Each structure stands twice: as C-alpha cells, then as structure tokens.
Amino acid sequence: MGIGCARLMGGNQGVDYTDVFEVYGRIAFDHIFGLTGDVQYMKDSMAVGDSPKGWIFGLRLTAEF
C-alpha cells in the first residue's frame, strides 16, 4: 500500500503546474499473480482558460514468471 503527492511544473499546452494525489495497494494471489488498485486525483493549473481536474481509477493484473 502506498500514498503519493506531487506538484509537476511546466508541461505541454500551457500548463503552469499539475497537482497529483495517489493512493494504491497491491494484493498477491500467489507467487505469480497480483492485482493492484489505484486512485488518483489530478488538477491542472492552466496559464489561460479553465483548469481541468478529475479522478482516475485503475486496476492492473500482473503475472510474473
């Protein structure tokens, strides 16, 4: 399980900075398969215009051999 927070400066298309907050966790089913769940909140601060923000949800199934 982990928590992350970052401010990313600059970028493309007139982005001044992006704030990101993330929480994730991983469950191992056995020595081969695992499942990782991830929730992120992102907010862009644009140089001009509206500043988009939103939630991103993800699941990842991995197989290691």
Residue 40 pLDDT:
97
Q: Is residue 12's pLDDT more than 80? A: no
Q: Work out whether the CA dihedral 4, 9, 10, 13 comes out positive or negative.
A: positive
Tokens of 25: 């966790």
Where would I find the H helices in the chain? none
Domain boundary assignment for the chain: 2-63
Residue 48 clears pLDDT 90, i.e. is over it: no
For the chain, strand residue ranges (E) read 2-9, 15-28, 33-46, 53-63
Confidence of residue 13 (pLDDT cuts 50, 70, 90): confident
Q: Write the CA distances from 48 to 17, 33, 39, 43, 52, integer angstroms.
A: 12, 45, 28, 14, 12
User: Residue 26's pLDDT is what?
Assistant: 95
